[in-house]
Amino acid sequence: MRKKIKAGVVQFDIKNGQIETNLNTVFGYLEKLASQDVSLAVLPEMFSCSFDNENLSRHSKKTDKVVEELSFFAEKKKIAIVGTLPEKKANKIYNTMVFIDVDGKVKGVYRKLHLFRLTGENLYYTAGDKIVTIDSSFGKIGLMTCYDLRFPELARSLFLQGAQMIVVSAQWPESRKEHWKTLVTARSVENQLFMVCSNRTGSDELLHFPGMSMIVDPMGNVLADAGCDETSVFAKIDYGLVKTARALIPCMTDRRPEIYG
């Protein structure tokens, strides 16, 4: 495990159903981050096709090929890549996060636990049933997707499983951008870990998206904020800060699970 790395986030206006166009954008930003010696890149939620829900079955057939292309790039450039795509399994569609490590291998997948009813996700997708942490080249990392941020139980479970970082892919809307900032920071502070969070920009038929991808340290300090435009940003991650934060305020030691679970 490397104690110091550079982690990056990518944000862009995902074109509904246009996989090749979106991948061209993704690889452009990944090339840029790799040239800056970034070791981990987080992409927005449903980065390949967005929520083109009526055509998910067709789009999901291309997901294996998309992952294959990303895996080849990851191994070649020695950069881990994370993001969510549509996955079809046993005639069910999942919003699935894939973590590809620097060796090009898929180290873990996470199916979104909390489906956002306000936009009808529950009508098209099946909710996952597992909390996922992975043992990556950069230590133990927890996986979360968008609406998951509103459920502190999930982040705390990842903390209890030893996560030193949580990565988040999102399509979080402009109308609730203050919630985004607050929740990302809160999850970092209460669990004393790094949050590396990618959110999209642009608009779809109903919503506008503010970007505001963020990297936050275990004390809640914002190390990188991508603003509102299409871009990529990165920050230096020093895992020593996790140990320092947890020693300074020993939340793990002082928990009372016998009282509240």
Q: Is 54 a catalytic residue?
A: no
Catalytic residue from among 45, 87, 121, 197 = 45
Rounded Cα distance, 45 and 106, in Å: 17
- 146 flagged as catalytic: yes
In sequence order, which ranges of 36-131 are alpha helices (DSSP H)? Answer: 56-60, 63-77, 121-124
Residue whose entry in the numeric block shows the structure tokens 């603003």: 227
Single-letter amino acid, residue 217 = D
219/110 Cα distance (integer angstroms)? 26
Q: Considering only CA atoms, which of 181, 62, 57, 46 is closest in space to residue 116?
A: 46
Amino acid at 38: V
Query: How wide is the angle at C-alpha 24 spanned by C-alphas 20 and 29, nearest 5°?
Result: 150
Q: Known catalytic residue: 45?
A: yes
78 burial level (CB within 10 Å; 0-12, 13-18, 19+): middle
Find the catalytic residue in 87, 112, 121, 197. 112
**Number of neighbours of residue 260 by Cβ within 10 angstroms:** 6
Query: Which residues are bridge partners to 99 per DSSP?
Result: 82, 108
Catalytic residue from among 77, 121, 146, 197:
146
How far is the C-alpha of 63 from the C-alpha of 199, rounded, in Å? 20
Residues involved in catalysis: 45, 112, 146
